[in-house]
Amino acid sequence: MSSDSWKSPDALLYRSVFGLGLLLSVWMALRSQVLPDQVNQLRFGWYLLEHGILLPHGMPTSAGGFSPGALISLLTAGPLMLWWDFRAVALSMVFINVIAFLFLEKSIRPALSPRGRWLLLLFLWLAPWRMAFSSFIWPPNYAMPMGMIHLATAVYMRRKPVAWATFIHVLIIGFGAQLHSSAALLALLSITLFATRIIRVHWPAFAAAVLLTLLSLIPWMNAVIHDPALMPAGAGFPFRGLIFLFPLLRGVLYTLRMASLSLPSRFAAFDFTPALGSGVDALLSPPLTALAWISHLSVLLPVWGLVRLLRHARRRRPWRVNAETPLRPWLKAYLLAACAAALLSFAASPTTIMYWQVQVMTASMALALVLPLEALARTRHRKLFTRFIAVWTVATLLILGAMATAAPMFRRGGRRAAVAVLTAEEPLIDELGLREHCTISIDPKHQWKHPK
């Protein structure tokens, strides 16, 4: 893109909207609260910096045991080295999302018109799910940028083996497994892409990435030998989703919600009293809470997008790609492979799928909307498209404003407040500013359960 085009009004407006989303994310990160899971992650970085202890494992997994590897300690300690405050880790989440989105946007830009880039900005960068889960501390929050980078590197691997893209692609899976078990979905997706020749692998780079991953896991392997309880996936049984069906269907529903305005209930429990007073809360909470509930219907849009994708697949068979296939049909082949990998992952999962286990699908689900909507805008329905996008944009901005100001994870106190109930006092509570900015409660008999 020439320097003149970057100075055009459209480009300036685009960058301004991107900057608005970035500023809102930073503000949310600075206002972010903690629960026991967030404090638990902070312990890894705090122990490393204060005592030189690099724990060989990560956070507890939903299936039992702990995530392998020490990457969570390093990702937490790094920001704390720059600013001895828990909010530094939250801000690092924002930074990682910025890098991942810009990388993805650059990689798929040739397949999108200017209107398509705007749609990507709306349905991914400003998406309430991405905005919420990129602005506070939590290991599953790394899954969204992992999904973006996975897609972006796959784009560069579509025509020929590319060493740097293969290396990063494999590291995202190998190192991502140290952050959250949802990296297994990305592994299944990469196997599907390779088996169908949708991507081409540079084998020396692949071997280097695998070797680096294995080297990083040596301390964890030694720890597991001495304590087998550290091994993850100790609960449930494989292919539970095929037997009970509900776990599989739950995974499908959560995947659809990633591209919608339908947020988890805790992020829609608005209370403006701490920030703006009870009078403003009485005025704003009822209509915005009603909007949040009505927004559950927005799941119908990604359903429509996937139906369009499947209809296209029946006619064009986009998985039959080769080195000369244009980027846009290649992206559709990637999305179909992502859907297949997700279904297999949900069926094989030993536990019931929760929303934090499908966040790696956020970029794919957003693109599954961007492509058909961009095509729709070129048809006789473009007036309807314009009105719909206007309504969606207004609803998005209202939800983002309400969430950033009044959702429990981004305000201190109020209804359904975020409270970190810990079993004992710890030095990091005061050293990292938790007591000053968050609500901390000490209860030696408390057993933490994650809120729905």
Q: Which of 340, 302, 356 is nearest to 143 (CA)?
A: 356
**Cβ(73)–Cβ(55) below 8 Å:** yes
Contact 342, 125 (CB under 8 A): no
Label residues 184-215 b or e (16+ Cβ within 10 Å = b). Answer: bbbbbbbebbbeeebbbbbeebbebbeeebee
Q: What is the number of alpha carbons within 13 Å of residue 113 lying toward its C-beta? A: 9
Render pLDDT for 372-425 as a digit per residue (tens, 0 to 9).
Answer: 999 888 888 888 888 999 999 999 999 999 999 999 999 999 999 999 999 899
Q: Are strands 419-422 and 439-442 parallel, antiparallel or unpaired?
A: parallel
Per-residue pLDDT band at 450 (split at 50, 70, 90): very low
Among 196-200, 222-226, 435-439, the minimum mean pLDDT is found in 222-226
Q: How many CB atoms lie within 10 A of CB 276?
A: 14
- pLDDT band at 157, cuts 50/70/90? very high
pLDDT tens-place string over residues 4-48: 455 666 788 889 999 999 999 999 999 999 999 999 999 999 999
Mean pLDDT of 136-150: 96
Q: Crossing angle, helix 327-348 and helix 246-257, to 10 degrees?
A: 140
Mean pLDDT computed over 343-347: 87
Residue 451: predicted pLDDT: 38
Within 122-162, residue ranges assigned H as helices are 128-132, 143-156
Contact 88, 79 (CB under 8 A): yes
Q: What is the pLDDT of residue 63?
A: 62
Predicted pLDDT at 234: 55
Q: What is the pLDDT of residue 1?
A: 47
Q: What pLDDT is attached to residue 2?
A: 44
Q: pLDDT-derived band of residue 249, with 50, 70 and 90 as boundaries? A: confident
Q: How far apart are CA 392 and CA 304, in angstroms?
A: 15
Q: What percent of the chain has pLDDT over 70?
A: 92
Between 377 and 285, the more confident residue is 285
Tell me the average pLDDT across 254-280: 94
From residue 241, alpha-carbon distances to 46, 117, 186, 274 in Å are: 38, 36, 18, 42
418 or 311: which carries more pLDDT confidence?
418
Query: Rounded to whole angstroms, what are the CA distances from 144 to 172, 179, 381, 403?
Result: 11, 12, 32, 19
Above 60 in pLDDT, residue 448?
no
* pLDDT 10s digits, 378-387: 888 888 888 9
| pLDDT over 80 (residue 65) | no
> Does the structure show a pLDDT above 60 at 295?
yes
pLDDT at 59: 83
